[in-house]
Structure 1
Amino acid sequence: MSALKIEKGTSKHSAYDLRDPNVEVIETHTIAAIVDNEPGVLARVIGLFSGRGYNIDSLTVAEVDHTGHTSRITIVTTGTPAVIEQIKAQLGRIVPVHEVHDLTAEGDAVERELALFKVAGTGDKRVEALRLADIFRANAVDSTLESFVFELTGTPSKIDAFADLMRPLGLVEVARTGVAALARGAR
């Protein structure tokens, strides 16, 4: 739901629900799980997805509490509302999982991703790449006479937009970290 409480498939310009009632809505959800930081936990979580044919669009994992030996797994996945509910329920049943939060369903969340872009080019293409990097607030972290490596942090859509603009300018390689997300507010 958006800030205006408009559901997917509806229009803020119309009083009518434009969705086909016979078609299941595919949604993208960001799910965060707090798990024990021990060998095999990530494999069990990934096995849950692969064993049931669910796709993982983004996956990040890091230890968040050294003394408590817990890690946070952030997963971006897509599916019908029923599939998303099934994923959350099955994640919660895995023994080393302490908490499961659907950041998309629970309210507003801050999502960011880090990406590195290698762009090779000379002349006008090189100047244009630098200009676009400045507009996107990307940092040039490496520079040679033939190429740049830009670092960019932002939403996944910002990362995608920057990549689309860099392709015709000589984009050679992209490395992305995956989405890191936290719920907004004090909860």
Structure 2
Amino acid sequence: MESARLILSMLVNNESGVLTRISGLFARRGFNIDSLSVGETQDSRVSRITIQAAGDEYVREQLVHQLEKLHDVLVVEAMDVSRIVARELLLVKVRAAPETRGQALDAVTVFRAKVIDLTPATMTMELTGEKTKLDAFIAFLEPLGVIEVCRTGVTAIGRGGYVLTNTKEE
């Protein structure tokens, strides 16, 4: 089978060491985490973890099965990419001398980015979107001189009524 993009979403107890146990499971099995996003949910006792990795159907099943065994994992699901909205956040700092600042601002307009910091020599921009959009934005800015790039991991939420809910009883 061909390797595909996997997006695993899980609800976990918001406690120390949970992320270490999850990442350790990936390391022990020899799976690379391509992207990781963690944040508290509407319930401060629960965090949502979104992990992007590569693998076939077998890898997906193994990861879900192994993650479900972890005590602090309340629910884990391999998300159906056709039923979710997935986004990533990018912060990028470029050289913005007066003679190239207009080009940087053109990129902001075209990609619907936002300028979040501006100095006489640099411009820092924020952009949210899918990986391909963020990659294209960076490529567009390369001729200006990209100084620094910072990206979050992918985060995803179900479309419409598709909701990840805690299925374990307390």
Q: If the length of structure 2 is used for normalisation, what is the TM-score?
A: 0.90
Asked if the contact 1:92/1:100 (under 8 Å) is kept, the reply is yes
Partner residue, 1:64: 41
| C-alpha distance in structure 2 between counterparts of 1:55 and 1:184, whole Å | 27
Q: Which has the larger radius of gyration?
A: 1
The reply to whether residue 26 of structure 1 matches residue 11 of structure 2 is no
| C-alpha distance in structure 1 between counterparts of 2:52 and 2:19, whole Å | 15
Asked if the contact 1:31/1:104 (under 8 Å) is kept, the reply is no
Bigger relative contact order, structure 1 or 2 (CA pairs below 8 A, ≥6 apart): 2
Percent identity, please: 41
SS in 1 for 2:22: helix
Following superposition, the deviation at residue 51 of structure 1 comes to 1.0
Q: After TM superposition, what 4+ stretches of structure 1 lie above 6 angstroms from structure 2? A: none
The reply to whether residue 79 of structure 1 matches residue 80 of structure 2 is no
Q: How many residues align?
A: 162
| Unmatched segments (≥5 aa) in structure 1 | 1-23
Partner residue, 1:45: 22
Deviation sequence 1:85-140 (CA, Å, 0-9, x none): 111111111111111111136x4100111111100032443221110111001111
Deviation sequence 1:6-30 (CA, Å, 0-9, x none): xxxxxxxxxxxxxxxxxx3010011
Deviation sequence 1:43-86 (CA, Å, 0-9, x none): 0000011111101111011111435x111000011012211111
Partner residue, 1:117: 92
Asked if the contact 1:118/1:173 (under 8 Å) is kept, the reply is yes
Q: If the length of structure 1 is used for normalisation, what is the TM-score?
A: 0.82
The AA in structure 1 aligned to 2:76 is: V
Partner residue, 1:104: 80
SS in 1 for 2:142: helix
Partner residue, 1:91: 67
Aligned pair partner of 2:103 in 99, 108, 128: 128
Following superposition, the deviation at residue 161 of structure 1 comes to 1.0
Partner residue, 1:162: 137
Partner residue, 1:9: none
| Unmatched segments (≥5 aa) in structure 2 | 163-170
| C-alpha distance in structure 2 between counterparts of 1:101 and 1:84, whole Å | 10
Deviation sequence 1:122-176 (CA, Å, 0-9, x none): 2443221110111001111111111100011111211111011111211110111
| C-alpha distance in structure 2 between counterparts of 1:65 and 1:45, whole Å | 22
| C-alpha distance in structure 2 between counterparts of 1:121 and 1:82, whole Å | 48
| C-alpha distance in structure 1 between counterparts of 2:141 and 2:83, whole Å | 30
